[in-house]
Amino acid sequence: MKEHPLFLREDAVVVNGGINESLGYFCPSAYINGAIAHFGNPGREERLLKVGKAYTYLPHYALLEVSGDERCQFLDALTTQSFSSLGMGKSSECCILDAQGRIEYAAGVYVEEQAIFLIVETSIVQKLLHFLLSMRFMMQVDIRAYNDVVILGTYGDFLDKYTDQAVCVWKDPWPYVCNNGTFYGPDTDKHPAKGLERKLYVFPSDISVSVVNELTEHDVPPSGMIAWEAVRISSARPSFECEGKNVFPYENDWIRTTTHLNKGCYKGQETIAKTVNLGRAPRRLTFFYLEGEIQELPACGTPIMWNGREAGWVTSSVRSADEGPVALGIIRRVVPVDDIVDIGNYRAAQGVICNAEGTSSVALKERPGKDLMNHELRTRSQGHGRLGIA
């Protein structure tokens, strides 16, 4: 897409493999070929993006289409979401889990009258496409990938006038809890993402050129990936490439938008049901305020150290215009929320995302059958043999 007008701007800083250390910024989603890191002023771009006055070119997203008469049943059987209960024009999310309940794939969902669109990160799009094709068997389902589209993201509504020219428009449900769902993080009213309305507009490539040219004529500025990731990280919004790999959906609170608790069976459901109702999440997604001398930010995967022991790892980091150097990371639940941890050369205070108790909003207060236990038999057997006989 190097012929796209965004790349012709003199202020566009494009990352083509490797890491530009002068950016002081690390995130896998930003360092793919073709990502525009910034347009000269990441801080200003972040502030404009957050208030809905800028947009970002997102080459790390791709589009799949699932059509056919049995598309809802097909996706119901494979994912955590209930597609049969999603109405036309509805935006949602879903995960596909492994047998142990860890996230294998994650996708944004948009429902049209004759098809369901899945917005996925490019790192998994081909693998997910092959998986879905392999699971069709005799079902009346067609699946295809769109190869010639451009995805623009914004937190405003100024792109709505181009909706008729888009393949689809996905309205990010984060942080609202899906129907028959649960959450491990803050209530929606107290969530750091409250009030942010993130939208992804999927345009045919040629249409996106005319859209961007018109936005430029009307002085609507673009923002780079640094700004996009800064807003995402500050709103505790998981990304598959960063916060989703080898993680259970209740550990990063992605369960709140992806998982319907009262639908039919799917792979990994037993683990989800057991933990949501009776268990505790062993790890939790946490926001970190990094303190130290100005230096390179910790790379994804950097160990999080607590009392000299490794207690987790960094998933994303960015230098925010308003909060300075910050990061997201997965940390063990046993780490007290008030404790300071070490991340590389930084000291870091925690900002709670998933609750420290590791329990869901719908967890049972006590185990079923507790009142059926015969305490008298236990008392009788004390001081006797295995069968309670002296």
Question: Angle at Cα 64 formed by Cα 60 and Cα 66, nearest 5°?
Answer: 160
Q: What's the confidence (pLDDT) of residue 284?
A: 98
How high is the pLDDT of residue 277? 94
Quick: pLDDT tens for 40-49.
Answer: 999 999 999 9
To the question of pTM greater than 0.85 for the whole model, the response is yes
Question: In which residue ranges of the chain is pLDDT below 50?
Answer: 18-22, 24, 26, 28, 384-390
pLDDT in tens, 156-186: 999 999 999 999 999 999 999 999 999 999 9
pLDDT at position 14 is 85
Q: Which CATH class is domain 5-244?
A: alpha beta
Interatomic CA distance for residues 295 and 310, integer angstroms: 22
Question: What pLDDT is stored for residue 299 in this prediction?
Answer: 86
Q: What is the pLDDT of residues 107-154, one digit of tens each?
A: 999 999 999 999 999 999 999 999 999 999 999 999 999 999 999 999
* Of 362, 85, 341, residue with least CA distance to 250: 362
